[in-house]
């Protein structure tokens, strides 16, 4: 049995999988729109929580939250489950996929996906794929992986393995799916405005006693960067910097920590709402993305030990601090302008 759902590659696996699940029910939502309606842009730097020995840093909201937010916003009934038993996890997948004839989103460990060349695999327990079919004779599942060009397949054995990959974030067979669509899909304009305001609050209106989240967190990171060499030595400081760049540029962010994706969302939001001022914010967000990209470029010089460039961690921290201040101003202005249109 295989559901009729055309494969569409995407830059980010979770946004792409959400788009696939909605498209099956006739709701066409682009990848940037899925990200924007989920209020997905965020920043958090928590040095006392480690991932692979490195401080936890995200340029987006936490995995799994995007699907919950967009379905709630659109009045869609959905469910997300995790399991202690591998057999129960596979049984539930088949119940939803075959019994309810519904595509299912899964969170898997990317390292053990056999259709990726070994040189491209990393230990990352947060990759999202969409299961759309199963050959009940062979036990082979049909998979829409947003990062592949074409539809791929996984055996039952391989799928079980990637659903229960061990690591810093145990997956526990996490799956999510749409249970029931509303009779009428709500008008997008008020949803877009609501989602933008929510994202602005998360980024620019965090209380001072939460220093590691939103724009507070960006400035907090800049302060920490100034102390890295002194407190942990240059080698560990460089590893920390490399991890920041990886999360900024290499984890399906679309570049610059999802800032380009959010800029594309604001451009599409301007078209769907008729609010032309959102185009100006889109351009401004793209420029902010360019500044994050410049930070990545300058950081690469430090990582490659180009001492003749004269760059220091203080120089990089100055760039990050300025970006935190720029984004705080951006999101506060955006909130005020959108709020006036929501009245």
Q: What is the CATH number of the domain that holds 172?
A: 3.90.70.10
- Cβ neighbors of 167 (< 8 A, separation 6 or more) are 109, 123, 125
pLDDT band at 309 (very low <50, low <70, confident <90, very high): low
Q: Is residue 133 part of a domain?
A: yes
Paired strand residues for 105: 130, 176
41-91 pLDDT per residue, tens:
999 998 887 766 778 888 988 878 999 999 999 999 999 999 999 999 999
Inter-axis angle of helices 65-73 and 188-204, to 10 degrees? 140
Q: Cα angle at 314 between 308 and 318, to 5 degrees?
A: 115
12-51 pLDDT per residue, tens:
899 999 999 999 999 999 999 999 999 999 999 988 877 6
Longest dimension (CA), the chain: 64
Q: Is residue 52 part of a domain?
A: no
> Under a CB-based contact definition with an 8 Å cutoff, are residues 228 and 240 in contact?
yes
Q: Is residue 338 part of a domain?
A: yes
Quickly list DSSP for 209-272.
T-TTBHHHHHHHHHHHHTTHHHHHHHHHHHHHHHHHHHHHHTSS-SSTTTHHHHHHHHHHHHHH
Which of 131, 147, 180 lies at the terminal end of a domain, its last residue?
Answer: 180
| pLDDT recorded at residue 329 | 98
pTM for this one?
A: 0.91
Alpha carbons 263 and 194: distance in angstroms, whole number? 17
| pLDDT recorded at residue 54 | 78
Helix boundaries (H) for the chain: 13-24, 31-37, 65-73, 86-94, 156-163, 188-204, 214-225, 228-249, 259-273, 277-303, 313-342
Q: Check whether residue 299 and residue 200 sit in a common domain.
A: yes
Q: Is residue 106 part of a domain?
A: yes
Structurally, the chain folds into a number of domains equal to 2
Q: Check whether residue 119 and residue 203 sit in a common domain.
A: no
Q: Check whether residue 21 and residue 155 sit in a common domain.
A: yes
């Amino acid at each position: 049995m295989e559901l009729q759902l055309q494969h569409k590659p995407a830059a980010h696996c979770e946004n792409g999988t959400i788009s696939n699940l909605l498209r099956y029910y006739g709701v066409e939502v682009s990848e940037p729109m899925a990200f924007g309606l989920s209020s997905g842009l965020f920043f958090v730097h928590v040095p006392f929580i480690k991932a692979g020995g490195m401080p936890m840093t995200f340029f987006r909201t936490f995995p799994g939250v995007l699907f919950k937010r967009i379905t709630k916003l659109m009045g869609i009934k959905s469910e997300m489950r995790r399991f202690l038993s591998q057999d129960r996890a596979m049984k539930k997948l088949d119940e939803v996929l075959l019994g309810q004839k519904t595509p299912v989103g899964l969170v898997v460990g990317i390292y053990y996906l056999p259709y990726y060349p070994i040189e491209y695999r990393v230990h990352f327990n947060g990759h999202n794929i969409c299961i759309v079919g199963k050959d009940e004779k062979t036990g082979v599942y049909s998979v829409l992986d947003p990062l592949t060009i074409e539809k791929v397949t996984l055996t039952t054995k391989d799928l079980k393995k990637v659903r229960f990959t061990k690591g810093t974030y145990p997956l526990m067979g996490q799956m999510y799916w749409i249970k029931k669509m509303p009779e009428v899909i709500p008008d997008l304009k008020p949803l877009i405005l609501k989602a933008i305001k929510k994202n602005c609050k998360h980024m620019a209106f965090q209380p001072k006693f939460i220093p590691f989240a939103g724009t507070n967190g960006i400035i907090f990171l800049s302060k920490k960067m100034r102390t890295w060499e002194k407190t942990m030595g240059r080698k560990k400081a460089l590893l920390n910097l490399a991890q920041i760049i990886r999360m900024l540029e290499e984890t399906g962010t679309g570049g610059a920590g999802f800032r380009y994706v959010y800029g594309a969302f604001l451009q599409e939001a301007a078209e769907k709402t008729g609010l032309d001022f959102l185009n100006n914010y889109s351009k401004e967000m793209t420029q902010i993305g360019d500044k994050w990209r410049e930070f990545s470029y300058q950081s690469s010089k430090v990582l490659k030990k180009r001492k003749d460039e004269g760059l220091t961690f203080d120089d990089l921290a100055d760039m990050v601090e300025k970006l935190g201040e720029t984004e705080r101003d951006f999101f506060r202005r955006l909130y005020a302008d959108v709020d006036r249109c929501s009245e």
